[in-house]
Chain A
């Protein structure tokens, strides 16, 4: 198998951080410390944000005595806005190079700062504005964070890296409400305590990011996506340099014969990040030429690494693989019914008792948590594209179950398992797949582009599904979505976007 071969051949340089501190008995190509650090940041941040989410309706109705109904109107605006902010975050993270950490940090910090503000707001309008700021923070940080994950792991283990990150993220989302309700239990109307604790937790998240996530991943010539195994090996070598200096000098002393060179490269690259000057690219280009034997399937992009401009980000779509991937994500997104509709259908079709309604998202999250890592690993082994499509197969199956007249007590569990499985097979896996074809200096923008496309497609689907439900009823609307999803999946299957390396 190709993957196994390439791993065997490039162990030493496989992952800067994975290889930086080899331990006895540790599996090769385990998840990089950066990924674990980012996962920890996400876990902590999700505890913080889900604490607030869990008590917000209660706070508005019981604490402030407000009717939160008018609030829903703002929701759509937030969603569209958040998708655009994501592009901005991605762009800023790429510009000037190595800014991923700081843009992400700004996003995390902004969200953290919103928590104590909630204490002061007493009416809907300021609360709405604070939540908008919180979402802006989330939008800003997502793409740079995913870029950091992909930049700090090897192409072969990216699926797993994203799986680990998503699992940690979801664990936080599950813990958050628990913490919030424990606090409310210990107090009476302890919303102020919930917001204060949420703030403290968010600050810890920001601190872990600032202290333990290396700052200068990326900005290395963009040779990684070149069309040969050798160039991928080179890409990995560059990765080695990418995270090396940030982890600290003591971390790159593992006797790897390459570390000297990579350290030198890193210095070059770091110096070059500020100015994009041609000499730096030349250095990296030379390195690429050395490593690949001059083989470059896309000579234009190989010789001049794209500058991180908006135009360059959009130009990424000229690349067949990314274009196909984005197109498929868009199409499949257009047929993906939003979560709240799924839960409503589940309740109506399968007669889930009212009191369990609030727990349905927990079921999806639990399945996501359990399946994220195994499916991420599977994606690395059998191909991300396959797992991504299989995830949509699971969703299709869930729709089928919802449509069938078969009723049983196990059915809601099956649907939630499939729904969580769908997220586990698509959320991080798509990012891993997209990473394969986005050059490093545009990683953040490229991932943001795919995410935004998918988010907007899902938003459009939500509107369409709502309209179809209105016009034809829930059953017909779901049937239409199922057919649409099947057609999109077949189309995606026929496209079969192959990563340049033939990996996925």
Chain B
């Protein structure tokens, strides 16, 4: 082949490939436009005021339905979760709230790269503080009193085909603003002994009502543990293995969690369980599918969690005692919090 032919071949290939690349980008951006248009048959959404207190029995969540209010914090009456939604104009990837304090994990679109931050919200969804989040946010929680907020992020993807992810769990005292950027700063007591390891990862914090105790997942050496943490002594103690994303019941007696069950596919290995903290007995819930979420207690007897759906995620509910059947309560919704 002469140089001329080779250049011609390259140029024609460039034209074709540039066409394919452009078409794929245009296709994806056209889809973006579609997503800004309300889909027929979807939930009715109107802009309005959303507050974390005052109104009794509401569910607040990230609305994932296509349309102008996509990704905004949205509220519905807890008694009619599939009913008309009121959107707030505040966009979050993950959200939780309790006693008039909310935590909203947001993406900040930069010129070169997205960064993430955790925004602490007051009862009227106004920002009171924000903190850097070092990676893609995955879990958010607020203590029942509203004093403490916690979040987890995935950190990784630094190098070529890097598949090594780790998590960082942060806790902030919303009263003083004191931030613990990573629970790795806490002392770990594993099986009764101090444990120090570089591979320690925490995720899925859940708070007790005393504003001192919390529970979380600790992973080290390929195993996951349920840990009980103490905010005052800055210590975590392992209680049990194979517990991920714990969620403490309102009465503080039980923990709902996802458990890795043998024999399930590696990418969907979790079933929902409830652990009784007094007897340490666990009960499998009636949800047969793999759930990758930190469940939320609607009350002492009912759990709510997300499963993948047509528009990202749908919310389901199941009784906490292992009876009954899972039921879909809301489509195109994720990260619910129940407020009164």
Cα–Cα distance between A211 and B134 once the two chains are bound (Å): 43
State the majority secondary structure of interface residues on A. helix
Cα–Cα distance between A119 and B118 once the two chains are bound (Å): 31
Smallest Cβ-Cβ distance to A473: which chain B residue: B196
Taking a contact as CB atoms under 8 Å apart, the answer to whether A196 and B20 are in contact is: yes
Number of A-B contacts (CB under 8 A): 193
> Which one, A69, A339, A358, contacts B134 given CB within 8 A?
A358
Interface size class of B (residues with CB under 8 A): 35 or more
- Minimal beta-carbon separation of A34 from chain B (angstroms): 14
> Which one, A58, A181, A183, A188, contacts B136 given CB within 8 A?
A58
Taking a contact as CB atoms under 8 Å apart, the answer to whether A181 and B114 are in contact is: yes
CB neighbours (8 Å) of B156 from chain A are 57, 68, 72
Taking a contact as CB atoms under 8 Å apart, the answer to whether A68 and B163 are in contact is: yes
Taking a contact as CB atoms under 8 Å apart, the answer to whether B157 and A56 are in contact is: yes
Known: A188-B31, A211-B10. A358 touches B113 (CB 8 A): yes
- B246 CB-CB contact with A under 8 Å: no
- B176 CB-CB contact with A under 8 Å: no
- Minimal beta-carbon separation of A269 from chain B (angstroms): 21
Taking a contact as CB atoms under 8 Å apart, the answer to whether B267 and A124 are in contact is: yes
Cα–Cα distance between A474 and B13 once the two chains are bound (Å): 51
Known: A187-B32, A188-B31, A339-B158. A474 touches B198 (CB 8 A): yes
- B219 CB-CB contact with A under 8 Å: yes
> Which one, B109, B113, B115, B163, contacts A177 given CB within 8 A?
B113
- B268 CB-CB contact with A under 8 Å: yes
CB neighbours (8 Å) of A106 from chain B are none
Binary contact track B99-117/A, C-beta < 8 Å → 1, others 0: 0000000000100111101
Stretch at the interface among A59-67, A376-384, A395-403: A59-67
Cα–Cα distance between A358 and B292 once the two chains are bound (Å): 25
Smallest Cβ-Cβ distance to B307: which chain A residue: A65
Taking a contact as CB atoms under 8 Å apart, the answer to whether A204 and B13 are in contact is: yes
Within 8 A of A (CB), among B138-158: 138, 154-158
Cα–Cα distance between A358 and B25 once the two chains are bound (Å): 25
Taking a contact as CB atoms under 8 Å apart, the answer to whether A69 and B136 are in contact is: no
Cα–Cα distance between A212 and B3 once the two chains are bound (Å): 9
- A248 CB-CB contact with B under 8 Å: yes
CB neighbours (8 Å) of A203 from chain B are 13, 17
Binary contact track A201-218/B, C-beta < 8 Å → 1, others 0: 101100110011000000
Within 8 A of A (CB), among B250-269: 265-269
Taking a contact as CB atoms under 8 Å apart, the answer to whether B6 and A212 are in contact is: yes
Cα–Cα distance between A207 and B5 once the two chains are bound (Å): 13
Known: A70-B266, A75-B164, A178-B112. A207 touches B13 (CB 8 A): yes
Taking a contact as CB atoms under 8 Å apart, the answer to whether B158 and A340 are in contact is: yes
Known: A57-B154, A68-B163, A211-B6. A200 touches B196 (CB 8 A): no
Binary contact track B287-315/A, C-beta < 8 Å → 1, others 0: 00000100000000000000010001100
Binary contact track B1-13/A, C-beta < 8 Å → 1, others 0: 1110010011001
A residues with a Cβ closer than 8 A to B are 49-50, 52-54, 56-58, 61-62, 65-75, 78, 123-125, 128, 131, 134-135, 138, 173, 177-178, 181, 183-190, 192-193, 196-197, 200-201, 203-204, 207-208, 211-212, 248, 250, 339-340, 343, 353-355, 357-361, 466, 469-471, 473-474, 477
Question: Given contacts A354-B132, A470-B199, could you give 9 more A-B pairs where the C-beta distance is less than 8 Å?
Answer: A50-B160, A62-B136, A70-B269, A71-B165, A123-B267, A183-B25, A212-B10, A357-B134, A469-B198
The 5 A-B residue pairs with the shortest CB-CB distance, nearest first, are A124-B267, A469-B198, A190-B28, A196-B24, A188-B32
